[in-house]
A and B are shown apart, each in its own frame.
Chain A
Amino acid sequence: MAEFTLDCLGEACPIPLMKTEKKLEGLAVGDILIVSIDHSCAMKNIPEWARKQGHNVEIDEVDDGEWEVVIEKTK
């Protein structure tokens, strides 16, 4: 049940999504990944992708135009 962070601030689509996908692959079930993003499209496509993969997802708007996508790996 470890917690990891991934800094994707300043990255444009689809880099944040690709990095998230790659990072999540190496995690164990139950681990939590927190992805920091400031690209408004990533704030829609990362959660959408992760939910479709069956993971638990939450979005936290930490600042104007800045989000943390919290993903709990479920499988």
Chain B
Amino acid sequence: MPETGQASSGSSIRRSSTSSRRKPKKNQIPLGMLVVVLMVVVGLVQANREPMLGFYWMMGGVFGFILQKSRFCFTASMRDPCITGSTSVTRAVLIAFAITTIMFTAIKFGYASMGLPVPGMSYVTPISFATAAGGILFGIGMVIAGGCASGTLMRVGEGFFMQILSLFFFVVGSLVGAAHFGWWKEKFIIHGPSVFLPDVFGWVGAVVLQLLIIACLYKAAALWEEKKMGGSED
């Protein structure tokens, strides 16, 4: 399947109007290189002040580059099945889950077996009504705004003014959320369990179970697209 967005050279569709190409395109590559150089300079300056700052800056740059190049969109992975029935992004996200599940667990298991504290455990958070409310609000918000947190940042970089506005109100919403956080914590979050799957199923059991779930979801996503769009091509 021709997945890329490049125009095919031999035009097979005969259109009566001419393409609305108005002027010769400007070449933005030099500007792009300038931005890359600028990013390296900022990275070096920040790394010189504090290595972690430079590293995080660099990681951000890499994530932004990959997100933009692949048009990777977590919003689309949840939204497209609802709107068109397409699950190509959904399946890509599931593959990302599968890869990171294996690699993260390898790292975590390594730490645990050496008797060291397991890294990244702050991402194992309590499940409560707040998770449900937060998930639903976030889900509605990202579809309406046309991008989640990473997607909004990526589209700000693409020059989308609408997303600058949505980023600002994301920040405002975060502030209000933080203001109310004590209430939510006391009422709900504190009573919710934090479940680290290896504690329940063992390391191997947790990974196998999670990969099985991902595989089932992948299959379900493929079937969903077939049903809604009549055959998936990839």
Contact = CB atoms under 8 A, between A and B. Distances in A.
In this complex, the interface size class of chain B, counting residues with CB under 8 Å from chain A, is: 35 or more
A32 B13 contact: yes
Choose among A14, A53, A59 the residue with the greatest number of B CB atoms under 10 Å from its CB.
A14
A18 B83 CA distance: 8
Contacts of B229: 49, 52-53
The secondary structure that dominates the B interface is loop
In this complex, the interface size class of chain A, counting residues with CB under 8 Å from chain B, is: 35 or more
A26 to B, nearest CB: 17
A54 B5 CA distance: 16
A41 B76 contact: yes
Interface of A: 3, 5, 12-15, 17-18, 21, 32, 34, 36, 39-41, 43-45, 47-49, 51-54, 56, 58-65, 67-68, 70, 72
B91 interface: no
A52 B222 CA distance: 13
Interface string B162-174: 1100000000000
B80 A34 contact: no
Nearest to B68: A40
B163 A58 contact: no
